[in-house]
Amino acid sequence: MSGSLLKVESLTKHYGRGTGFLRKTEPAVRAVEDVSFSVEAGETLCIVGESGCGKSTVARLLMRIVEPTAGRVIIDGVDIAGLKSHALRAWRRRMQMVFQDPYSSLNPRLTAGQIITEPVENFERLRRKQSQALAAELLRKVGLAPDMMHRLPSELSGGQRQRLGIARALALQPSLIIADEAVSALDVSVQAQILNLLMDLQQQLGIAFVFISHDLSVVEHIGHRVAVMYLGRIVELASCEALFAMPVHPYTEALIAAAPVPDPTRVRREVPVEGEVPSPINPPSGCTFHPRCPIAVERCRIERPPLVPMADGRVVACHVRAPALDIHAECSRKDADRSEAVNPELSFAVGRSDFP
């Protein structure tokens, strides 16, 4: 995985809550805990999970809008934590963000043309003709007429504004775009247009996406791989195809079962997930999903399950469905009994790992 465009290693963010009543230090919000993944050039990695599971905090950590409590974000081999202002600015050209709300994320006083060219003008001076040509080119790229460059955001529809947000993100020719709920505020038909536009741009320009969404139908449409988050942690990371065909973690299974099925011929198992999402201030012991899990066993209450690589390349954190093997104990047993060449139980654990 050394050639990954983006590598995230054990990323953790605890939001401090300062001192409260009677100067007692209030416990931190454990928003993101030990999150690791990688993204290849031209790939779309989706991050899904219920509200409050830490998706947007991951996005903010990737963009260095907030500082991590621990862990590393490495882009093209460079750890962004070590970058000082000049290098950080240069690096920011490579990673851009598209936000959920196309209404509030665009400056209402600037024209579409100024909005698009502003990021470039932060780095270099453009002549009037150059900026007009750039705005026209990028508007065309996102399916808008070049003469829209003279309009204000208030004169555009929701879908047109989101296209404008994408054009702005493209202006610096990034290799990675972080899209945080980028289509959630749009009508379903406009959502499909924007998703198709993002996929076309990926094909043409080889851009990678980290696509954050709570909507599984959107993820199934656009994703190559999917990371499922629960209470700040990744519980399953798999190819999109494998995840939807056969979810392994009981939380993934419940999320997919709860999502509306667009195809009536496709039957999904009913897997109810009961109870509320616990607080990230005082998360449950062991597997944090255990209080809501229909298949939890005693071990789940005590021990946190590690992410275990499976034969099809996915990683899953579940004591029941993906039990971690004690490889050392297994090897000693094998040394003692050399008559058996291959252990069929061990073979499942050898697959492509998403650990950096």
Ligand X SMILES: Nc1ncnc2c1ncn2[C@@H]1O[C@H](COP(=O)(O)OP(=O)(O)OP(=O)(O)O)[C@@H](O)[C@H]1O
Write out the residues near ligand X by the rule CB under 6 A.
15, 29, 31, 49, 51-57, 214, 280
Strands 95-98 and 78-79: unpaired
CB of 15 to ligand X, least distance (A): 3
Instruction: State in angstroms the smallest separation of the CB of 58 from ligand X.
Output: 7
Nearer to ligand X, 58 or 106 (CB): 58
Residue 211 DSSP SS3 = strand
Whether the CB-CB separation of 161 and 189 falls below 8 Å is answered with no
Least separation, in Å, of the C-beta of 178 and ligand X? 12
Min separation Cβ 291 and ligand X, Å: 17
SS3 per-residue string spanning 45-58: EEEECCCCCCHHHH
Name the residue among 46, 48, 37, 34 with its Cα closest to residue 4: 37
Give the C-alpha separation, 210 to 50, whole Å: 17
Pair 212, 58: CB distance under 8 Å: yes
Rounded Cα gap, residues 311 and 253, in angstroms: 19
Nearer to ligand X, 159 or 280 (CB): 280
Q: In the complex, what is the shortest distance from the CB of residue 206 to ligand X, in angstroms, rounded to a whole number?
A: 27
At 221, give phi and psi (nearest 5°).
-75, -40
Residue 232 burial (CB count, 10 A) = 25
Between 116 and 277, name the residue whose CB sits nearer to ligand X: 277
Q: Which is nearer to ligand X, 9 or 215 (CB)?
A: 215
Minimum gap (Å) between residue 280 Cβ and ligand X: 5
Residue 7 bridge partners (DSSP): 38, 74
328: number of Cβ within 10 Å: 8
Tokens 């109810």 sit at which residue? 272
Residues 6+ apart with CB under 8 A from 154: 108
Considering beta carbons, is residue 226 or 308 the nearer one to ligand X?
Answer: 226
What minimum distance in Å lies between the beta carbon of 52 and ligand X?
Answer: 4
Distance of closest approach, residue 348 Cβ to ligand X, in angstroms: 31
